[in-house]
Structure 1
Amino acid sequence: MTLIAVGINYNTAPVAIRERLAFPAEILDNTLKNLSDVRDISEAAILSTCNRTEFYCRTDSDDQTPLIEWIADTKIITPTDFTPYLYSYKDSQSIRHMFRVACGLDSMILGEPQILGQMKTAYHAASQAGTLGKTLSKLFQHTFSAAKKVRTDTAIGSSPVSVAFAAVQLAQQIFDKLSEQTALLIGAGETIELTARHLFQHGIGRIIIANRTYDKAHALAAQFNGYAISLSELPTHLAEADIVVSSTASQLPILGKGRVESAIKKRKHKPMFMVDLAVPRDIEAEVEQLRDVYLYTVDDLQNTVNQNMDSRRRAAEQAEEIIDTQVEHFLAWLRSQGAQETIRDFRIQAEMTRDEVLQKALTQLNNGVPSEEVLQRLAHTLTNKLIHTPCAQLRDAGANERHDLIAASREIFKLR
């Protein structure tokens, strides 16, 4: 039995290759069933995200050719087009790799938590498809436990490492309850989408999306139960905003000191938290001079992000030590499975002997033999039958000078 992990990720393959090897959720069930039918593969799971596609398999051979051929046939791609980008791990290294992936140690953003949820999705998909057996099921469960321990015992996920997340955490420090605040987000790109997602997840009361193209603003706002406006409507809605985050590609400032000053007066000087994530700036630097306005730039937040990345790197070192221990725990479980078949056979043999002796005892009781005599015979016969074979083997071991076997027997039977 061999455990393998084979895949590509953002480090090894360009987007064009990752796209071709991706497996959408809607086809995963049939895909997994087909994969489990591949020669030598007895258990299988697939992790497919925008940054990686990985195959976790229990196989009866070290040969990965059947898997490679299956990927090529399924994705209609020649092996030479994707094999240069593949990495593969076996047994203890595949276990370590799964643990590291689940903990975010192999992610583009060190320690990011989303990958653990994606790993759980992969597990549930394989479980529903019926392609998990005892070994991979146990490995996934141990993977989740290892990730939880890393999250609990290290600070790897405690500090924001994106400017969007840093902005939201800063807002939480300024406002007691985000649920009572309105956020105005200017732009509709990736950074604003990420900011909106973080705010939404942290329970922001209301989101307004402003963008030059109204349709883009509306599409983004709809994802977060928000309200869309065009840039021309900014003066009307600016005073509603407790939090303003701007990230556009404009070459000129979108918000000037005068416009913000007017909004503050309408708000009766209720504080406004503003974050300018654009380069060049969307918000005039002079806005910082206004009372009741807390203005932060991308540079302010980037310093925080850099410090937090250093913190995560130190936590990652601790996480690697935890993973080393967890890998050994799982390997110990795997090794113990090698004895299960022997234990099962030994138990079956003992139960057959018991049933045989018990049946004779019951027959004797039915024939009127005194119960005390029957019990004595049962105990004597059962003892002799259970120890006969081990004693015979030990005598042969002594005759053949198999001292190792004799020593092992003393340990197994705990003989002093």
Structure 2
Amino acid sequence: ALLIGAGETIELCARHLQGNGLRQVIVANRSIERAHHLAEQFGGLAIGLADIPKHLHKADVVISSTASPVPVLGKGAVEQALKQRKRRPIFMVDIAVPRDIEPQVAELQDVYLYTVDDLKTVIDEGQKSRVAAAEQAEEIINLQVGHFLEWVQLQTGAELIKSYRQQSEQMRDDALFRAKALLAAGKSPAEALDFLANTLTNRLIHHPTVVLREACASGDLPTVHAVQNVLGLADTPHR
């Protein structure tokens, strides 16, 4: 990978690339001293901006983030590198403002160039998707818990209903919080909804399942029938 710049953003990129198994790093910067400082941390090579054309053909990935007011990488240099690479593609990310890489580079057939605008679009779309999924998940939870609580409200014992309502709402809130955390961590909406469904189902049936299992094991038929009645289950033979 060729990293153009030596600031915090490029350092974060270098750490991410190294963490994903990329070992060969070339750091290009206007200040060769700063380039050396960063390159040494990752066992890479430091070069000046003027030397980029000599090394560009070695890079499958190019990430640029400098404070230069003008582009530091032009279409001609990239064309020459592609010839040396025998048309093997180069993936480029330009996160500088203003741009470090000439826009015309994107016209080259074997270059995949992404800019700040492209990345912002991806981030915005991802954020919208997560927000929509979170809202959908909340609606599903509220609907299902609401149905369950309506049933509970028809039963006797105001304090018991109140306690059970609070417990159910706490289950809902806990599951919703963890689902939103999954979305914020980058999980897909489908994974978050699947987590919600499994979590709510397991939590709501856990205690009745334990009571029913123990009652069946001990032959406690009154409790078995009581659980059947509460859960609205059809009579089944018990042994």
Q: Shorter-chain-normalised TM-score: which range?
A: 0.5 to 0.7
Extract unaligned runs of 5+ from structure 1: 1-182, 326-416
2:15 alignment counterpart: 197
Distance 1:195 1:324, change over 3 A: closer
CA distance in 2, matches of 1:320, 1:231: 54
1:325-361: CA deviation from partner (whole Å, max 9, x where unpaired): 9xxxxxxxxxxxxxxxxxxxxxxxxxxxxxxxxxxxx
Question: Does 2:121 match 1:303?
Answer: yes
Question: Does 2:174 match 1:321?
Answer: yes
Shift of 1:221: 1.6
1:255 alignment counterpart: 73
Shift of 1:315: 6.4
CA distance in 2, matches of 1:211, 1:249: 10
Q: In the TM superposition, what are the counterparts of 1:233-272 in structure 2 within 5 Å?
A: 233-272=51-90
Shift of 1:244: 0.6
Shift of 1:300: 0.5
The one-letter code matched in structure 2 to 1:184 is L
2:39 to 211, 218, 221: 221
The one-letter code matched in structure 2 to 1:272 is I
Question: Does 2:210 match 1:210?
Answer: no
Count of residues in Structure 1 that have an aligned counterpart in Structure 2: 143
| Normalised TM-score (structure 2) | 0.55
2:6 alignment counterpart: 188
Shift of 1:309: 2.5
| RMSD between superposed Cα atoms in Å | 2.2
Distance 1:313 1:201, change over 3 A: farther
CA distance in 2, matches of 1:190, 1:311: 29
CA distance in 2, matches of 1:225, 1:316: 43
Identity %: 57
CA distance in 2, matches of 1:322, 1:212: 51
Shift of 1:324: 6.3
2:50 alignment counterpart: 232
| Normalised TM-score (structure 1) | 0.32
Structure index of larger Rg: 1
Shift of 1:302: 0.9
CA distance in 2, matches of 1:223, 1:252: 28
Distance 1:316 1:206, change over 3 A: farther
1:170 alignment counterpart: none
1:148-180: CA deviation from partner (whole Å, max 9, x where unpaired): xxxxxxxxxxxxxxxxxxxxxxxxxxxxxxxxx
The one-letter code matched in structure 2 to 1:321 is D
CA distance in 1, matches of 2:8, 2:125: 23
The one-letter code matched in structure 2 to 1:298 is V
Distance 1:324 1:185, change over 3 A: closer
Shift of 1:314: 5.3
1:44-89: CA deviation from partner (whole Å, max 9, x where unpaired): xxxxxxxxxxxxxxxxxxxxxxxxxxxxxxxxxxxxxxxxxxxxxx
Partner SS, residue 55 of structure 2: helix
Extract unaligned runs of 5+ from structure 2: 138-171, 179-239
